[in-house]
Structure 1
Amino acid sequence: MITKVVRGWRVGGLITYLMGPGRAQEHVQPRVVASWDGRDAAWQPPQVGEGEFDRDLGPLIRALRAPAVAAGLPEHGDEGKRGYVWHCSARVAAADRVLSDAEWAEVARDLLDGAGVAARGDAGGPRWVAIRHADDHIHIAVVLVRQDTGRRIWPAHDYPRLREAARGVERRLGLTVTAPADGTAAKAPQRGELEKARRQGRLPARVELTRAVRAAAVGAENLVGFLAALRADGYLVEVRRGPSGDPLGYKIARPGDVSASGEPVFYSGSKLAPDLSLPRLLRSWESAARGTEAAAPLQAARRRVDAARALVGSVRHGGAERDAQGIAQATLPVLSAVGLWSDELRAAAETFDRAARSPRGVASREGARAAGLRRVARQLVRQRRMLDVRDEPGAAAVALVVALSALVREIAAWQQDTSRPHQAVAASAAADALDRWAAHRAIPSARDADLVDHGFTARRPRLEPRPDRGARRPSISPRG
């Protein structure tokens, strides 16, 4: 079961959408299957016309909004702030059986209780309804205000708790078992960001800023160079410093992206991606500083990628657990540097992003191999204009991409062996994208063919756990 949560301010607009025809007439027989007070289907809006969607939604919307009105909460909030309307969608896998309305009602209560949003038996808790308009999923709309005290509710760790509650539902109902949450998923743009970007005809700010920050971070040696690169590209960057003057963090905004009050909409580095927080960036620059740069970055990058793949392979085959996770983290900057060559390669790097992240609570360190990867990534970014591989990549560039594919597949196999299915799936998808790019590039001459003789299939590591480890292959989340 896949769950997704978004936050907003207008419960009336949400109910109107859920009980309406949908954006493409995809909603079928919208109906209330569960509610906060146990009346459930009794809250179904009455028919007021001949059409399927001609219903009086007023009583339901007013009932849901009543605690928020009593608390004096507005229907519109400041952009970037979290609204008090909690909207969860829960979807079963395509292969799962069709659940009844009664089963979905119990699912809704299990999810709300498990997520810490609305506890079972709490008469003074928030008001909510579960609406079904398709066979395979429901939507739950919650107004995060307690009925008894009128105080706004701020659920703690509701996303990971919701994921665990969904896994409990899977076991109870015999549904497809999905992988547990591990804290590595990227923060997706919110609905408001997407709608704003659509109106402006631009990428969502979060996506654009993440790309810009990552490119600047990979090519920089220190904070000064990082800030200079971003400002040279026209971005607004501010650094937060402690009383001692030491930098503690930074925030970035793109020009022209302003709130309703006309202020720039800033994003902190840690909100873009965990590895883009300032402490993590400072550590990565420190790691890359250990050693010297190579004269020929493409060839040096290939050698270091090959060495990194060999180390991860040795870990998989019983070698010392050195810095396999550190190599996974340091592979992302190399992919990001190569991603400047084409949109295809940039997409591969963004796909790999999750594979580079450590699961929640897992510590990692970076050794000499990882430091070498970061160093050549910086060189590739700095010398990208001299390399000129975007239009007609040479054999050395293709060889590097093929070597990266082999490394990424080795990382995917290691992650599968260590029960990290989310990361393994991301790494495998990134390797597929790298292979597609390389397969469409011709080798300039037979003399250079040895540069790409990595074997597209012969050297692919298998993704099944090694039998002598007795590991059980974890489930992979179905597509939601």
Structure 2
Amino acid sequence: MITKVTHGWRPGGLVAYLMGPGTVEEHVRPRVIASWDGLDEGWQPDTGPGGALDFQLGRLIGALQVPATRAGLPVSGQAPPGRGYVWHCSARLSATDRTLSDEEWAGVARRLLDGAGIATTEDLGGPRWIAVRHADDHIHVAAVLVREDTGRRFWPHHDYRGLRCTARELESELGLTPTALADRTAARRPQRAELELAARQGVEPARTELARVVREAAVAATDPGGFVDLLRGRGYLVELRRLPSGDPIGYKIARRATTPIWFGGGKLAPDLSMPKLITRWGQRGDATERLDAGVLAETRQTLERAERILRGARQGIAAENPDGIAHAVGDVVAALGARYGGALGEAASCYDGAARAPYEPVPDVGSVGSELRTLAGYLLRPRRRHRDDLDALSTVALLVALAALVQQIAQWRAEQGKRHQATAARDAQRLIRCTAEERRPRRGPPRPRYAREVAVDHSRRENAVAAIT
């Protein structure tokens, strides 16, 4: 069960939308299935003269917004700035789930409101709310966040997290498709306005592009100054925020534009804030200019060592922190994505979610993870003529080793019960392996045997003539 929450200022507008035909006539038989006072279906509006979707909504809207009117909050007209007092939650099932009855959905609505901290069965002075159903697979819950007993506006505490936990409980009780627990590892997705702006301009959404280039710069750099220089060298606007002592504490970045839209590092992804980047840079091993076998071979050997550690961790033998290795591998994938592009760039975006540890700071990466971070930085340096850099087989061997390690990470995440991270790792592993197959050198067709024999006979004849003369 997937839940989504939005906020607004007009109870009447939301009710009119929910009880209407929808934006593309998708609403079928909209009906009220639950309410704050237990009347439930009793609040179903009467049908007007216009047909099945012509409801007389005045009574329902008027009753729902009474607390807001008493509190002096706007119920119509231009919406003021800030988050509105109308709480709107949609709850949707998987396409493979069974169809719930109206009574079951009404129970789901009450459980979600309780889990979100908005309305409980014991709280008689809570807010007014209704649940509306107009499809088989989802419902909408609309609540006015003003208490009836005090007339005071309130905000639920950690409602998103409470909804996710409650949804998982309902999945188990009702036999629905299980979903993963929200763990704050996902990167921030572009908002609707960002997507529309990018579509008009015909470019990638700014948040997505900036997250990618920041991650690549974080891998290539070793300190805040070099990080900023790399981004500015690529044409981006970057500003550091410093403490009174002069130590960097944050940054913001934007594309070059007439009106730049700035993003802080933490708004791009949970592990791209300046404090976490500084932690990552401190985890690198001692840089060395001497790579006897070449950077690709050294990286492959380290990946193979990491893969053995992950395999041992899955068997209960934890030589080093597997979560730390998984995080450090993200630097290698990002470096290869920046170096070769194509599907490896997509793999870096996919693996991004698998790298982060939920609810935790940057994990301890250990000696192998530290070496991986260092080698990832070498992969993004200007090309050097290492012996194996000129050998396509070395690149393929590196990708095969990386795919094997990412597969172990996917299985490790799955055994931990972290479905989001496991899925992200599996998607990345598939792209990496496909790239390895595409880059594998193909031998040309063999020369015909008779051609080789003719060439040999011709050479012998020339040697014999030379000996006679």
The TM tier, using the shorter chain, reads 0.7 to 0.9
Residue matched to 2:141: 140
Q: Distance in 2 between matches of 1:11 and 1:293?
A: 65
Residue matched to 1:350: 349
Residue matched to 2:131: 130
Residue matched to 1:224: 225
Give secondary structure in 1 for the equivalent of 2:252: strand
Residue matched to 2:381: 382
Q: How does 1:52-63 map to 2 (within 5 A)?
A: 52-57=52-57, 59-61=59-61, 63=63
Q: Which has the higher contact order (CA 8 A, sep 6+)?
A: 1
Change (3 A) 1:168 1:212: same
Residue matched to 1:41: 41
- TM-score of the superposed pair, with normalisation by structure 1: 0.80
Q: 1:297 pairs with 290, 295, 298, which one?
A: 295
2:274 is the alignment partner of 1:278? yes
Residue matched to 1:436: 434
Residue matched to 2:79: 76
Q: How does 1:158-169 map to 2 (within 5 A)?
A: 158-169=159-170
The answer (yes or no) to whether the contact 2:280–2:362 under 8 Å persists in 1 is: no
Give secondary structure in 2 for the equivalent of 1:429: helix
Q: Distance in 1 between matches of 2:109 and 2:166?
A: 10
CA offset at residue 132 of structure 1?
A: 1.4
Give secondary structure in 2 for the equivalent of 1:329: helix
Give secondary structure in 1 for the equivalent of 2:380: helix
CA offset at residue 361 of structure 1?
A: 5.3
Residue matched to 2:464: none
* Deviation per residue, 1:91-120 (Å, 9 max, x gap): 223333211112111111101111112233
Q: How does 1:78-477 map to 2 (within 5 A)?
A: 78=81, 82-256=83-257, 265-292=261-288, 295=291, 296-340=294-338, 341-360=340-359, 364-383=363-382, 394-445=392-443
CA offset at residue 408 of structure 1?
A: 0.4
Give secondary structure in 2 for the equivalent of 1:274: coil
Q: Distance in 2 between matches of 1:217 and 1:240?
A: 17
CA offset at residue 9 of structure 1?
A: 4.6
Q: Distance in 2 between matches of 1:119 and 1:294?
A: 65
Change (3 A) 1:23 1:244: same
Q: Distance in 2 between matches of 1:400 and 1:54?
A: 64
The answer (yes or no) to whether the contact 2:112–2:163 under 8 Å persists in 1 is: yes
Residue matched to 2:457: none
Change (3 A) 1:254 1:50: same
CA offset at residue 56 of structure 1?
A: 4.3
Q: Distance in 2 between matches of 1:181 and 1:253?
A: 29
Q: Distance in 1 between matches of 2:78 and 2:289?
A: 56
Change (3 A) 1:154 1:235: farther
Give secondary structure in 2 for the equivalent of 1:203: coil
CA offset at residue 162 of structure 1?
A: 1.1
The answer (yes or no) to whether the contact 2:19–2:31 under 8 Å persists in 1 is: yes
Give secondary structure in 2 for the equivalent of 1:89: strand
Change (3 A) 1:266 1:255: same
- When structure 1 is superposed on structure 2, of 30-39 and 347-356 the one drifting more is 30-39
The answer (yes or no) to whether the contact 1:2–1:166 under 8 Å persists in 2 is: yes
Change (3 A) 1:311 1:20: same
Give secondary structure in 2 for the equivalent of 1:382: coil
Q: Distance in 1 between matches of 2:34 and 2:193?
A: 28
Q: How many residues align?
A: 435
Give secondary structure in 1 for the equivalent of 2:132: strand
The answer (yes or no) to whether the contact 1:239–1:247 under 8 Å persists in 2 is: yes
Q: Distance in 1 between matches of 2:83 and 2:400?
A: 43
Q: Distance in 1 between matches of 2:205 and 2:236?
A: 15
Give secondary structure in 2 for the equivalent of 1:407: helix
Amino acid at match of 2:210: L
Change (3 A) 1:246 1:190: same
Q: Distance in 2 between matches of 1:171 and 1:145?
A: 32
Q: Distance in 2 between matches of 1:15 and 1:199?
A: 31
The answer (yes or no) to whether the contact 2:186–2:269 under 8 Å persists in 1 is: no
CA offset at residue 312 of structure 1?
A: 1.3
Q: Distance in 2 between matches of 1:235 and 1:129?
A: 47
Q: Distance in 2 between matches of 1:10 and 1:381?
A: 52
Give secondary structure in 1 for the equivalent of 2:439: coil
CA offset at residue 140 of structure 1?
A: 1.8
- When structure 1 is superposed on structure 2, of 396-405 and 293-302 the one drifting more is 293-302
The answer (yes or no) to whether the contact 1:291–1:372 under 8 Å persists in 2 is: no
Change (3 A) 1:330 1:242: same
What 5-or-longer segments of structure 1 have no aligned partner?
A: 259-263, 447-480
* Deviation per residue, 1:305-330 (Å, 9 max, x gap): 22221221222233235121111001
Residue matched to 1:467: none
The answer (yes or no) to whether the contact 1:290–1:371 under 8 Å persists in 2 is: no
What 5-or-longer segments of structure 2 have no aligned partner?
A: 445-469
Change (3 A) 1:445 1:303: farther
Give secondary structure in 2 for the equivalent of 1:135: coil
CA offset at residue 42 of structure 1?
A: 3.4
CA offset at residue 282 of structure 1?
A: 0.3
Give secondary structure in 2 for the equivalent of 1:238: strand
Give secondary structure in 2 for the equivalent of 1:116: coil
Amino acid at match of 1:316: R
The answer (yes or no) to whether the contact 1:6–1:191 under 8 Å persists in 2 is: no
- When structure 1 is superposed on structure 2, of 98-107 and 317-326 the one drifting more is 317-326
Q: Distance in 2 between matches of 1:257 and 1:138?
A: 43
- When structure 1 is superposed on structure 2, of 161-170 and 418-427 the one drifting more is 418-427
Give secondary structure in 2 for the equivalent of 1:312: helix
CA offset at residue 443 of structure 1?
A: 1.3
Amino acid at match of 1:76: A
Q: Distance in 2 between matches of 1:68 and 1:239?
A: 43
Q: Distance in 2 between matches of 1:77 and 1:211?
A: 35
- When structure 1 is superposed on structure 2, of 129-138 and 100-109 the one drifting more is 129-138
Residue matched to 1:32: 32
Cα-Cα RMSD: 3.1
Q: Distance in 1 between matches of 2:83 and 2:184?
A: 20
Q: Distance in 1 between matches of 2:403 and 2:63?
A: 55
